[in-house]
């Protein structure tokens, strides 16, 4: 019978209710009743390809298994759940049951209301019905006051000390992967202190398996996050603080490959967990928006120029007026606007570098240059005049596809619409690799590519692990993540469907063989 499956797993999101008290993280007992004699037990989800009626029928057949004749039952619905009530024996003891079932999208859920007497069953059935009418089927686990969306296919279980663990399916031989949600603790200190305490006590002071934090602490939704490693494990650490409570979530793997494989599921769980009172920092860095289609101005040509010049910089590091070689990109827009910007970030506060690519430049309706990156251009008899916001006009003549003046400006090959396919790794990094995989169908996957924009410390919304669709346009790689986040990145690459490498925001990525 199903009774043999009753275990401490929570897979539905059960709403708060004053009539019910939660024990562990999957058993609910009504007010005034001993938990051993009357309770709701929430079972783990199971894979099931049929619909709700088929799932209820499968549960009913399991209940009837071994019985000489099927017991009587009554049926009904409560919100998203169908239910049936019956009486049966569990280990030789008579019990009154109501089974709540739901199935959709290949997953089936089951909640069982159990009472040791008919009187207890009648006394609390209405409250159980009301509770289940508001319950939401789905893979969520409530731990320490926060509701976590269990990654699809992962199992949830109670561990010692009030800890909840999530375990992935189909682990390879020797694989050790888990998400551990520690009990919420009373605390008035920032969540960073909780991460620091774990690193110090469990890694730095661990003589059997010493470890350390990798990089700095950043943000991910309502959590602060950091990575750490020891001689045998990799860790993702996530700490949330709300009210007078703090909770630590630990993602543990025994190899870098497993960390990369299961990291996306963990990140989705963290980002979809609501932390009470959390509000995004209004002053945090945000990606530049892409102009809407009606404001998208065509680029007629982009040119790479190198030359010697003497200029003034407001950054004290530059020493005022200095002479040096410059590498710049000149872009001529169809509406007569021009931009002249650094090829790579100079590191000065007044750099003209466009880190998020030319696709983010909104030049529609720009009659007067708005800053020193912009100007206007005209062409008369093969001579192009570019009057920038500052400085004397730039006089250029056409030389085939290129432009000539004091500098030679070589035309950049168009890249709009290219669909290179392959996995590209950032070069010269220390620690876990940073990569982006581009696919011929326009899909992409990233692993730690957020580091090219400062990582979770600077850009907390950029997924550490992500996937979605990409577009190459205006020397920009536009990533549209399936979470809704959109990031455009400055792109320099050779034309062709299989480039050996490219520069993303000035960082070199090379194709994996």
pLDDT tens track for 328-352: 999 999 999 999 999 888 777 778 8
Position 3 scores a pLDDT of 26
Q: Single out the residue of 38, 210, 35 nearest to residue 115, CA to CA.
A: 38
Q: Single out the residue of 337, 338, 357, 376 nearest to residue 290, CA to CA.
A: 357
pLDDT tens digits, one per residue of 469-509: 999 999 999 999 988 899 999 999 876 657 888 999 999 99
CATH fold label, 147-271: Protein Transport Mog1p; Chain A (3.40.1000)
pLDDT tens digits, one per residue of 217-271: 999 999 999 999 999 999 999 999 999 999 999 999 999 999 999 999 999 999 9
pLDDT at 120 over 60: yes
Q: How far apart are CA 107 and CA 12, in angstroms?
A: 12
Rounded to a whole number of angstroms, the distance between the first and last alpha carbons of the chain is: 54
pLDDT at 144 over 90: no
Phi, psi of 365 (to 5 degrees): 75, 5
Could you tell me the two tokens for 44?
């783990």
Q: How far apart are CA 502 and CA 452, in angstroms?
A: 13
- Strand runs (DSSP E) across 36-137, as ranges? 38-42, 46-47, 73-78, 81-90, 93-104, 107-115
Q: How far apart are CA 512 and CA 509, in angstroms?
A: 9
Residues 182/250, Cβ–Cβ less than 8 Å = yes
CATH fold label, 422-511: Lipocalin (2.40.128)
Backbone angle region of 91, left / alpha / beta, with phi > 0 → left and psi within -120 to 50 → alpha: left
Sign of CA dihedral 178, 191, 227, 491: positive
Q: Single out the residue of 329, 491, 484 nearest to residue 424, CA to CA.
A: 491
pLDDT at 1 over 60: no
Residues 45/151, Cβ–Cβ less than 8 Å = no
Is there a common fold for 147-271 and 422-511? no
Exposure of 485 in the CB half-sphere (CA atoms within 13 A): 18
pTM, two decimal places: 0.70
Residues 31/20, Cβ–Cβ less than 8 Å = yes
Eight-state DSSP code of residue 406: S
Average pLDDT, the chain: 86
Residues 222/238, Cβ–Cβ less than 8 Å = no
Exposure of 358 in the CB half-sphere (CA atoms within 13 A): 30
Alpha-carbon torsion angle 161, 113, 14, 142, nearest 10: 10
**Cα angle value 140/141/145 (rounded, 5°):** 120
Q: How far apart are CA 330 and CA 407, in angstroms?
A: 11
Radius of gyration of the chain (CA): 30
pLDDT tens digits, one per residue of 8-38: 333 344 555 678 887 765 788 898 888 889 9
Q: How far apart are CA 76 and CA 64, in angstroms?
A: 19
Q: How far apart are CA 475 and CA 188, in angstroms?
A: 48
Element (H, E) at 116: none
pLDDT at 314 over 80: no
Q: Single out the residue of 211, 209, 213, 165 nearest to residue 192, CA to CA.
A: 213
By DSSP bridging, strand 107-115 and strand 93-104 are antiparallel
pLDDT tens digits, one per residue of 68-113: 888 999 999 998 899 999 998 866 789 999 999 998 766 788 999 9
- Strand runs (DSSP E) across 337-390, as ranges? 337-342, 374-380, 383-388
Place of tokens 């003034």: 312
pLDDT tens digits, one per residue of 390-448: 778 899 999 999 999 989 999 999 899 999 999 999 987 766 789 999 999 999 999 99
Give the three-state DSSP class for 204: helix
Average pLDDT of 158-171?
83
Q: How far apart are CA 476 and CA 504, in angstroms?
A: 9
| Domain range list for the chain | 2-138, 147-271, 293-411, 422-511
pLDDT tens digits, one per residue of 125-142: 999 999 888 876 655 666
- What is the secondary structure of 324-390 as a DSSP string? EEEEEEEEEETTSEEEEEESS--SSTT----TT-GGG---TT--S--STTEEEEEEETTEEEEEESS
pLDDT band at 160 (very low <50, low <70, confident <90, very high): confident
Q: How far apart are CA 358 and CA 416, in angstroms?
A: 12
Position 2 scores a pLDDT of 28
Q: How far apart are CA 141 and CA 179, in angstroms?
A: 12
The structural architecture, per CATH, of the domain 2-138 is: 3-Layer(aba) Sandwich (3.40)
Could you tell me the two tokens for 454?
């400062």
Q: How far apart are CA 43 and CA 29, in angstroms?
A: 15
């Amino acid at each position: 019978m199903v009774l043999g499956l009753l275990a401490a797993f929570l897979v539905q999101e059960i709403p708060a209710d004053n009539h019910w008290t939660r024990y562990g993280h999957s058993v609910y007992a009504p007010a005034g009743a001993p938990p051993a004699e009357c309770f709701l037990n929430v079972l783990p989800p199971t894979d099931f390809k049929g619909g709700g009626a088929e799932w209820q029928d499968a549960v009913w057949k399991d209940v009837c298994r071994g019985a000489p004749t099927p017991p009587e039952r009554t049926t009904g619905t409560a919100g998203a759940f169908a239910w049936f009530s019956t009486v049966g024996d569990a280990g030789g003891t008579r019990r009154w049951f109501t089974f709540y079932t739901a199935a959709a999208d290949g997953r089936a859920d089951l909640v069982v209301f159990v009472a040791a007497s008919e009187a207890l069953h009648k006394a609390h059935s209405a409250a159980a019905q009301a509770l289940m009418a508001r319950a939401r089927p789905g893979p969520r686990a409530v731990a320490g006051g926060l509701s976590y969306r269990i990654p699809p296919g992962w199992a949830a279980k109670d561990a010692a000390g009030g800890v909840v663990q999530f375990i992935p399916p189909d682990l390879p031989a020797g694989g050790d992967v888990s998400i551990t949600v520690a009990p919420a603790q009373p605390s008035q200190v920032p969540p960073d202190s909780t991460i620091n305490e774990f690193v110090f006590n469990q890694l730095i002071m661990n003589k059997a398996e010493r470890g350390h934090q990798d990089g700095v602490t950043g943000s991910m939704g309502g959590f602060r996050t950091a990575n750490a490693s020891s001689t045998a494990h990799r860790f993702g650490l996530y700490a949330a603080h709300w009210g007078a409570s703090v909770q630590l979530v630990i993602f543990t793997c025994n190899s870098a490959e497993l960390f990369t494989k299961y990291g996306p599921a963990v990140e989705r769980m963290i980002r979809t967990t609501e932390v009470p009172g959390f509000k995004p920092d209004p002053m945090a860095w945000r990606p530049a928006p892409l102009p809407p289609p009606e404001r998208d101005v065509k680029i007629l040509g982009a040119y790479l120029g190198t030359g010697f010049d003497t200029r003034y910089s407001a950054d004290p590091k530059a020493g005022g007026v200095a002479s040096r070689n410059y590498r710049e990109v000149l872009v001529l827009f169809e509406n007569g606007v021009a931009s002249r910007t650094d090829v790579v970030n100079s590191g000065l506060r007044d750099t003209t570098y466009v880190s998020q690519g030319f696709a983010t430049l909104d030049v529609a309706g720009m009659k007067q240059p708005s800053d020193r990156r912009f100007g206007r251009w005209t062409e008369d008899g093969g001579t192009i005049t570019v009057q920038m916001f500052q400085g004397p006009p730039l006089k250029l003549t056409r030389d085939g596809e290129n432009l000539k003046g004091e500098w030679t400006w070589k035309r950049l090959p168009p890249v709009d619409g290219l669909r290179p396919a392959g996995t590209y790794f950032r070069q010269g990094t220390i620690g876990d690799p940073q990569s982006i995989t581009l696919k011929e169908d326009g899909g992409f996957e990233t692993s730690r590519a957020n580091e090219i924009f400062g990582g979770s410390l600077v850009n907390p919304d950029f997924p550490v692990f992500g996937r979605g669709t990409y577009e190459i346009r205006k020397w920009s790689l536009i990533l549209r993540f399936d979470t809704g986040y959109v990031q455009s990145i400055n792109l320099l690459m050779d034309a062709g469907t299989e480039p050996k490498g490219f520069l993303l925001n000035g960082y070199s990525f090379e194709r994996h063989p």
